[in-house]
Chain A
Amino acid sequence: MTGWLGRLRLEKRNAPGTGVLLLVPLVSVVAALLFGAVFLSLIGLAPVAVYREMLRVSYTTGYGVADTLVSATPLILTGLAAAIAFRFKLYNIGGEGQLYVGAIAASGAALAFGDRLTGPAAILLVIVAGALGGAVWIAVPALAKAWLGTSEIITSLLLNYVALFLMQYLIFGARTFWRDPESATFPQGARIPDATRLPTLGTTRVNLGLIVAVLAAVVLYLLLTRTRIGYRWRVFGDAPAAARYAGIPSRQVIVVVLLLSGALAGLAGATEVAGRAGRLDPTGLALNIGYNGIIVAALARYNPLAVIPVGLLLGGVLNAGPALQTLPGARVPVAISTMLTGAILLFALAGELFVRYRIRMRDPADVEQLAEQATTAVASPRAATGPEAEA
């Protein structure tokens, strides 16, 4: 009836297979790299050389891999924070702020009590303090959402700025408990006691935080898929009316899920303090790790296990940015990493279309044949009932 365009159609997939679910992010990454290549060419750089360098500094050398793992650790945690909330349609945009407050709480606890503790107890202290800090920071948005129906998107987002200024004040604004009294020239955070530092793996800079993050992902996955609690959360996320009908306390779900989300983001702050920096370092923390966690979660389709590889991928891309800057002779802008992450997300979101639908070209001859089959099927005395979908 029309040309080939008229015969192209989108068909809804009933259940997308694992193949498609894996293919879409991979294709998104490739597409983002091609997209980035256009820009690199425009500013007179050879994309292949830049990408080869990215691979080198992030994925194919020992140092590179270690750096990627260090960058990925907080990303996995903030990714989990976003995944657990977004999956149940609770949009915690405040991972950034919860990470800062987690870092403040972890460093505060380490400075206050770290001297008196040793071994696992000291490490547990910073981890728990960080998680608590993050949870406290989401508590008000969570309670307001549960009892007043306030949009958690707005409240959690705005608190990010409060947390940022709080953290900056603690180091740059006044002589506080967190500030190092020794450094007179440039204000910086006081070093936390060695006992509270996360142990590193071997001779690398990779620290215990990575293990904590991976463990958290596995525990969350099991919680969601194997337990009554996860089941109830999934019912709530899918159909709040069904949750009410089944007697699942919605307010409790909202509060617990959001607190858990905040705690995970706070944990990311704690691993940054106790693992990477060793002090409360406002500049080193304000790298959008919380916001990037949302990208990680979206690419992982809010699946906790998938957050791990996606975190590693994005960790590498982000890690490559500063490294590329130091390339001799080339002026690769540091923003290339940010642009690539953004592009990956955009392509992945576009790729959603292919997860839900498939594109098909139909041959008009097929239609005739199908019609014939249908007519004969109906004509037979006891026709098999066809699919009941009524379009």
Chain B
Amino acid sequence: MSDMSDTPDATAPPALEAVGVTKVFPGVIANAGVDLALRRGEVHALLGENGAGKSTLASILTGLYRPDAGELRMDGAPVTLKTPRDGLDRGIGMVHQHFRLVERFTVTENIALGDKRLPWRWSAAKVRTEVQQLAGRYRLPIDPDAIVGELSVGERQRVEIVKVLYRGAEVLLLDEPTAVLTPQEADALFVTMRALADDGRAVVFISHKLREVMAVSDVVTVMRDGAVVDAVRTTDTDPEALARAMVGRSVDLSTRWARAAPGEPVLKLAGLRLDAVDGRGRLEDIDLEVRAGEIVGVAGVAGNGQRELAETIAGLRRPDAGTVQVLHRDITGVRPSQARVAGLAYVPEDRLGTGLAPSLSVTENLQLTRSLPFLIDRRGGLAHATEVIERFDVRTTGPSAAVGTMSGGNAQKVLLARELDVRDGLTRAIVVAAPTRGLDVGATEFVRDLLDARRAEGCAILLISEDLDEVRALSDRIVVLSEGRIVLRRDAADAEVTELGLAMAGQAAPDDSPDEPSDEPSDNLGGPR
């Protein structure tokens, strides 16, 4: 471990400390002798891939799990946390990635919920005042009387933060808090995190996004395979070193652009319109062309029509107006199987449940979108699965393993192997939604390599994602979808995060740029590779 003597209050014992914490699950050592010191006044980033043990450690720190070995200390004194409530009572609060709010309750009601200090007949006004004070102090703008179900994701997150603060949390753990936010919302969250630390609280930022960790944290602890592999002050490190520590080898997650000029238009959307059902799922006047050998990224905040766009193209929804063409063939509203025959592959964002059937085997899932003979060729399927497992390095017990038992990254490999491993040469257009969501750095690199390779082979790829970093990493052109409309179109080289973020938040100037750039964006061609 590096020297941490320049911490604001290095002499004082840490607010919360894990000493030699070990947690074993069947077949997995989730935490192996982990040491972690959370000091007041610091934002402490906990960095690691999926399965590195971050969530387990967080669960131990908050009292959800008890360590099998090692101990927790608060201000130097050993403590045993029996339940999360026990942790909360001692001032350790967690903001979960998946919010735990009652949608039909107001903000104040949600915050008061489960507070045992309140009498049977509690005074909403009193809680409300306290909520407003906390919200003002830490720049967390929320309306205490709003119904939670009507709030945006970012607002709900602020409610969760205020909720743990209201309970008197001195140590705050935020689990992947930026995953659901726009860049601007993320920046606002960083300001809040800083304010909390400055106020003498210890803040833990759990993430696998290097850029954000570099931007907000004072100290970084990197975990891999259940153990701490690096613990440094943020100023003493850089993203490359962190990535190396996290993955155990060097990785290339740099931006990649097409190396050749794109060819003819392959996927063509013209005037696509989908009318709202119950005020949701609207698409309006979508005009978009994706040419052979390019990736067009669709950015946007969740719920702005991304799923509808993907499903309309893939034949799962019939548009109310407009056309979808693959290689001049009209596939508007045809069955998904016919869209596939026309050369369209679709990787849905929901892997287990839509892209894959969880309790079916790897072999069977690889056949899901293939046309099958009446009698299934079991031996051929098994051989194909064995070969895919080998070539894509899928970690599984074998071709007969149910995909639901596999990790997200490995399940995604099975899905991509089916949809993107197109050696028959028929697939010309690919719609991929959130292909690296929830994947660790190693798997992300793998998926990006694969998409890049398909682009180089001349596939037209539409990449739909709520993760702006993901969109920016691969796309040659970027469009922003907001409330079912394309509100911004930019060449990737000219796209600025601020502008994209504002457009995602629905604050952009009207889209006035032409769909296709008149001349080739030659400055793209020599993009960093």
Contacts and interface: CB of A to CB of B under 8 A. Distances in A.
A242 interface: yes
Interface string A232-276: 001100110111111100000000000000000000000000000
B475 to A, nearest CB: 24
B436 to A, nearest CB: 15
Contact of A368 (B51, B69, B367, B373): B69
Contacts of B338: 247
Contacts of A12: 26
Interface in B468-522: none
Nearest to B442: A385
B376 A388 contact: no
B29 interface: yes
B131 interface: no
B369 interface: yes
Given A227-B375, A389-B51, A383 B224 contact: yes
A2 B352 CA distance: 38
A387 B28 contact: yes
A367 B50 CA distance: 22
Interface in A117-149: none
A42 interface: no
B28 A231 contact: no
Given A235-B360, A367-B68, A370-B24, A245 B372 contact: no
A229 B360 CA distance: 15
A1 B78 CA distance: 14
Nearest to B54: A390
Contacts of B336: 244-247
Interface stretch (B143-151, B275-283, B401-409): B401-409
Nearest to B398: A15
A379 B372 CA distance: 48
A226 interface: yes
Interface string B374-402: 11101000000000000000010100011
A14 interface: yes
B377 to A, nearest CB: 10
A52 interface: no
Given A383-B248, A385-B225, A378 B374 contact: no
Contact of A378 (B66, B227, B346, B376): B227
Interface in B321-369: 335-338, 340, 346, 348, 350, 352-360, 364, 367-369
A362 B26 CA distance: 10
A242 B33 contact: no
Given A245-B336, A247-B336, A391-B56, A231 B397 contact: no
Nearest to A384: B225
Given A367-B24, A371-B32, A378 B359 contact: no
A15 to B, nearest CB: 7
A389 B226 CA distance: 11
The interface size bin for chain B is 35 or more
Interface string B50-65: 1111111001000001
Given A1-B66, A239-B357, A245-B355, A226 B376 contact: yes
Contacts of A116: none
B30 A391 contact: yes
A223 to B, nearest CB: 10
A391 B357 CA distance: 22
B68 A238 contact: no
Contacts, number: 164
A18 to B, nearest CB: 13
B402 A239 contact: no
A234 B360 contact: yes
A1 B378 CA distance: 50
A228 B374 contact: yes
A377 B357 contact: no
B316 interface: yes
Contact of A242 (B65, B368, B395, B402): B368
A226 B378 contact: yes
Given A245-B336, A245-B348, A388 B407 contact: yes
Nearest to B352: A239
A371 B405 contact: no
A241 B348 CA distance: 11
Given A15-B401, A371-B33, 9 more contacts: A15-B405, A226-B375, A227-B376, A239-B358, A246-B336, A371-B68, A373-B29, A385-B395, A387-B27
30 contacts: A1-B66, A15-B397, A226-B376, A234-B360, A238-B357, A238-B359, A239-B356, A241-B353, A242-B354, A242-B368, A243-B357, A245-B316, A245-B368, A245-B369, A246-B336, A246-B368, A247-B340, A370-B24, A371-B29, A378-B224, A383-B224, A383-B225, A383-B248, A385-B248, A387-B395, A388-B50, A388-B51, A388-B407, A390-B53, A391-B25
